[in-house]
Structure 1
Amino acid sequence: MVNSIPKPQNNPVTLPIIPPDQDRILAAIDVGTNSIHMVIARIQPHLPAFTIVGREKATVRLGDFCKKTGELSEEAMDRAMAALRRCQDVAKSVNAEHVIAVATSAVREAPNGQAFLQRIENELGLWVNLISGAEEARRIYLGVLSGMSFDNQPHVIVDIGGGSTELILGDGHEPRTLSSTKVGAVRLTAEHIKTDPISSTEFYALQAYIRGMLERSIEDLQAHVKPGERLRMVGTSGTIETLVALNAREKFGTVPTPLNGCEMSVKDLRDWVNRLRKMSLSERLVIPGLNERRAEIILPGAMILLEVMMQLKADSIVICERSLREGVIVDWMVAHGLIEDRLRYQKSVRERSVFKTAQKYQVNLAHSQRVAEFALSLFDQTQGKLHTWGEEERILLWAAAILHNCGHHVGHSSHHKHSYYLIRHAELLGFTEMEIETIANLARYHRKNAPKKRHETYRNLTSKHHRRVVEQLHSLLRLAVALDRRQIGAIQSIECRFDAVQRSFQLLITPTQADDPCSLELWSLDFKKGEFEAEYHVKLTPILQAN
């Protein structure tokens, strides 16, 4: 067995046929707590590299939750819809090949977040991928690495958003730590600041709160710093860029363009925090370069950054203008084979994350890999005959096969349901939230009942596309599990023969041992084939062949 995903023989073409050296245009949208950002990138596959050729931004404040319900407010959602419509128009005007959108903290936490994403899909035809905090941090890391070299030296990346702060420790290779903490400039302003200017009581209480919230992430990060290493700080996001720009304008009379590489000392930052805390909003508004929306939230954002720098004993921080949106582009380039050498490890980030989760829950990996091989063999041999799913759905099936039995870590009874919850909260890297939901549902339905609308887990699949994936592919996983019923590798290989006219499906089974009748496997196949037959409208007949 090898820890890899076998490639399908015939992948369906899901992209337009474009000459390999021709430039491609891609749009990446970040639906954040404070703002919606879009970058337009010109990808040059022959280098490979990309250049940002356009930007759009709208401050929509999705994080201004309804105080009674904690939901996204109608006003904020309407502002977001208008901003996304504008982004689509711009992307269309430059003939963008794809528009890739991700949503982060505010949508993750709001009770009506999924409903909002469904509204976007229904009204705009735009699919927005909801990503976890850890996945957000991973893509930020990719974005930063695309814009600056770390020279194998450890760097701490700080990204302060409206609802969360991401901390990443890396040296240009695989990230050592990825964390996302629920402290953000919009969140802290709404929940902790009631006075203007902020009172001393509120200021010190907020300072203590930030320190307590960041403590675990910083301790974890410090635990991965090797003796003698000197950390370098990299800042991304609007909050840090604004602070560095304000400082540069005041000290040097001008703001560098681009801001990339511009530096700010911890001493200057501390001075700004002390000044900003004494100012009312109206006084902050007259500071050159500080707009109204940023002026409202700049103080808590500066306090977060100062706390991180003090805890890590950093002297200064340097700006990198590439972050999450650019990371989305890099991730797309990796997924489509446009990056092969640099960041090569990212090609297997999803696989490694799945194996790490399997190890965490003490999965019988030998059995799970056999199940995965059977599931993928069934997928590949029926592709184009019984289904039209491609590589993206294939890896979801593989991940579910590897993790389908992880629920045994909790208990044998109803372990398929335990598997769902463990997978759902595992923060699998490289997957969107809906993809993780799909993996969890596939694992949940590897035994017992088929997917039903009354099941809460199935209802969590708000995407029709992913619901259909579960409906069709869970039956392949059931057959794959049956093929290793004794968990001893009794079956060596399988071959599928499909007669479209007769709607007959023969499953030719070659045993590992010539004298093994594989009675338990054949019984299990007969027991579990009903879902497969019902979904694909075929009659399945297992046939044991001589080895």
Structure 2
Amino acid sequence: MSTEIAPHARPALPSELGPEPILAAIDVGTNSIHMVVVQIRPDLPAFDIVGTEKATVRLGDRDPATGELTEAAMERALQALQRCRAIAAARGATQIVAVATSAVREAPNGRQFLERVIHEVGLEVDLISGPEEARRIYLGVLSGMDFQQRHHAIIDIGGGSTELILGAGQEPLCLTSTKVGAVRLTQEFIHTDPISPSEYTVLQAYVRGMVERAVDEVKAALPPNTPLRLIGTSGTIQALAALHAHQSQGSLPTTFNGYSLALGDLQQLVQQLRRMPFAERQTLPELSERRAEIIVAGAIVLQETMQLLGCDRVTICERALREGLIVDWMLSHGLIEDKLRYQGSVRQRSVYNQARKFRVDVSHGEQVAQLALSLFDQLRGQLHQWGESERELLWAAAILHNCGHHIDHSSHHKHSYYLIRHGGLLGYNETEIELIANLARYHRKSLPKKKHENFRTLPTKEQRRLVEQLSAILRAAVALDRRQVGAIASLHCRYLAPQRQLLLQLHPARTSEDCALELWSFDYNRHALEAAFAINVAAELVPQPLSAV
């Protein structure tokens, strides 16, 4: 989801964005808020960075008793986001894509903070999961580095979490997110200045234990006897590279892209930094005050991960999550056709992966999806005005609507909501996953009601209307495949506007089939369509296809 600087009645189409649109991407992190403003070059396809902004707001400084974001931290973030929006507008950006990560994900009042951002800043910020954050970091790195079809691990050390990714320049082979970050570890483990030997030993052991599982996942996904290169992103790793460059070369490179830091040199830096009090670290020109405070914990994460991976050096990439947001936006707007084409189907692959994980009958899901999308397409422009993005949400819900059977048949629609909501779908933001889960939740039994928490807490009236209407379409499609044998091959809609009457002409897969159970099931469930669209609905079996009217 993106925020338009100059609001339109609907999101702009690629053809309406101009030949080289300007886009801003904002990462609301645990330690800092970062923004990049880019000019898109669709003919390459690529983008040029035309502006950046950073504010260290420390959203991760949460209330130790409740875990909530503090009022002071939220105020710092709101002011920073106001500045970002103003700078983006001044740079000519027409849209802003913004995401929030670890600190907001974990805070009990994280969603309330995002609502404040909407009301006080006029900016929509998507809350993304750890694996989704890792996927977009991977996209960002691919936009700035050529992997040459060799396997690379990527490590991104943030304030609240560390993402470890494996890929070879095509689709990612492993995406992990671990709750070890420079801010989190500093707050929880470092209480002496400089850090005492006992605290250092405990922190080192804790980090190793936490990242070991992610490292094992990367190793398991790596083909046997395959060399592994390590790429590092994030402010922590760039700060360590800057310290190394200044000490070894006496100056900083013009860019850190491609700069290499050996494990042995990193270990020397860690030993040096751990013995320096905070006041002394502050005097290092390569470290800001905020970075100096958390650099020891961040350096330990990099050191332990490199040792576990068996990598003797890390290569720096300056592109990461923010640039990944740009690439993801270009993919979703059809502006990348050749390079990274594989990522264009990440949503579909993720849905099918979830279907396999929860042992969904995919053939039934695809049949339901076919009927639901046919209804959606034929009613568009007559009974609804939803577009392609909403159509894709309906498709995902149709494929996954029965996944709750994986837990239990009883109330499986409610189980489907939970599994979709927490199953880690990739390529979708938090709001889209919530909508897919709600659509699946209402494919049977009760219609959407405000007393249902999952429906009541949808942030906008438009989203609740979407769930009411598209869940009714999905419910009808599920009813029309009642026996899950594909008895109804296709359907055509006849809508009589003056009478507000909808007639469904159902075409059986076999002419000898009376489809009595499907007709009964549809009649039993048609009230959902009638309520959602304020119409009267009927269905009839027509052996030979008729043209839609």
Q: TM-score range by the shorter chain?
A: over 0.9
**For residues 346 and 268 of structure 2, what CA distance do their matches in structure 1 show?**
41
Q: 1:324 to 1:17 in 2, by over 3 A?
A: closer
* Equivalent of residue 247 in structure 1, options 244, 249, 254: 244
Partner of 2:5: none
Q: Is the 8 A contact 1:434 1:466 kept in 2?
A: no
Partner of 1:4: none
Partner of 1:75: 72
Are 1:521 and 2:531 matched, yes or no? no
Partner AA of 2:326 in structure 1: I
**For residues 306 and 79 of structure 1, what CA distance do their matches in structure 2 show?**
32
Q: Is the 8 A contact 1:21 1:44 kept in 2?
A: no
Partner of 2:151: 154
* Equivalent of residue 470 in structure 2, options 459, 469, 473: 473
What SS does the aligned partner of 2:191 have? coil
Partner of 2:232: 235
Q: 1:277 to 1:61 in 2, by over 3 A?
A: same
Partner of 2:373: 376
Q: 1:267 to 1:338 in 2, by over 3 A?
A: same
What's the CA shift for 1:471?
A: 2.1
Partner of 1:398: 395
Q: 1:363 to 1:294 in 2, by over 3 A?
A: same
* Equivalent of residue 289 in structure 1, options 269, 286, 291: 286
**For residues 496 and 56 of structure 2, what CA distance do their matches in structure 1 show?**
57
Partner of 1:267: 264
Q: Is the 8 A contact 1:207 1:303 kept in 2?
A: yes
Partner of 1:503: 500
Partner of 1:8: none
Deviates more, 1:13-22 or 1:437-446: 13-22
What's the CA shift for 1:289?
A: 1.6
* Equivalent of residue 353 in structure 1, options 327, 350, 353: 350
What's the CA shift for 1:463?
A: 4.4
* Structure 1 alignment gaps of length 5 or more: 1-11
**For residues 297 and 461 of structure 1, what CA distance do their matches in structure 2 show?**
37
Q: 1:290 to 1:350 in 2, by over 3 A?
A: same
TM-score of the superposed pair, with normalisation by structure 1: 0.96
Q: CA RMSD in A?
A: 1.4
**How many residue pairs were aligned?**
536
- The Cα offsets for residues 8-50 of structure 1, whole Å up to 9 and x where unpaired, read as xxxx973157478811101011111111111001101111111
What's the CA shift for 1:457?
A: 2.2
Partner AA of 2:178 in structure 1: T
Q: Is the 8 A contact 1:64 1:73 kept in 2?
A: yes
What SS does the aligned partner of 2:176 have? strand
Same amino acid, percent of matched pairs? 59
Partner of 2:547: none
What SS does the aligned partner of 2:166 have? strand
**For residues 295 and 467 of structure 1, what CA distance do their matches in structure 2 show?**
46
* Equivalent of residue 218 in structure 2, options 216, 221, 233: 221
**Which aligned pairs between 1:297-336 and structure 2 lie closer than 5 A?**
297-336=294-333
Partner of 2:139: 142
Partner AA of 1:433 in structure 2: E
What's the CA shift for 1:338?
A: 0.8
What SS does the aligned partner of 1:38 have? strand
**For residues 544 and 446 of structure 1, what CA distance do their matches in structure 2 show?**
23
* Equivalent of residue 36 in structure 2, options 34, 39, 52: 39
**For residues 242 and 322 of structure 2, what CA distance do their matches in structure 1 show?**
21
What SS does the aligned partner of 2:126 have? strand
**For residues 49 and 471 of structure 1, what CA distance do their matches in structure 2 show?**
39
What SS does the aligned partner of 1:207 have? helix
Q: 1:182 to 1:92 in 2, by over 3 A?
A: same
Q: Is the 8 A contact 2:68 2:109 kept in 1?
A: yes
Partner AA of 2:387 in structure 1: G
Q: 1:425 to 1:16 in 2, by over 3 A?
A: closer
Are 1:427 and 2:419 matched, yes or no? no
Q: Is the 8 A contact 2:51 2:91 kept in 1?
A: no
Are 1:364 and 2:388 matched, yes or no? no
Partner AA of 1:59 in structure 2: T
Are 1:172 and 2:158 matched, yes or no? no
Q: Is the 8 A contact 1:21 1:45 kept in 2?
A: no
What's the CA shift for 1:497?
A: 1.6
Q: Is the 8 A contact 2:14 2:334 kept in 1?
A: no
* Equivalent of residue 442 in structure 2, options 437, 442, 445: 445
Partner AA of 2:488 in structure 1: I
**For residues 171 and 532 of structure 1, what CA distance do their matches in structure 2 show?**
47
TM-score of the superposed pair, with normalisation by structure 2: 0.96
Q: Is the 8 A contact 1:479 1:525 kept in 2?
A: yes
Partner AA of 2:471 in structure 1: H
**For residues 529 and 167 of structure 1, what CA distance do their matches in structure 2 show?**
48
**Which aligned pairs between 1:525-544 and structure 2 lie closer than 5 A?**
525-544=522-541
Q: Is the 8 A contact 1:20 1:46 kept in 2?
A: no
What's the CA shift for 1:468?
A: 2.9
Partner of 2:197: 200
- The Cα offsets for residues 233-269 of structure 1, whole Å up to 9 and x where unpaired, read as 1110101011101110111111111211111111111
* Structure 2 alignment gaps of length 5 or more: 1-8, 545-549
**For residues 357 and 349 of structure 1, what CA distance do their matches in structure 2 show?**
12
* Equivalent of residue 387 in structure 1, options 384, 388, 392: 384
**For residues 16 and 59 of structure 2, what CA distance do their matches in structure 1 show?**
40
Q: 1:148 to 1:365 in 2, by over 3 A?
A: same
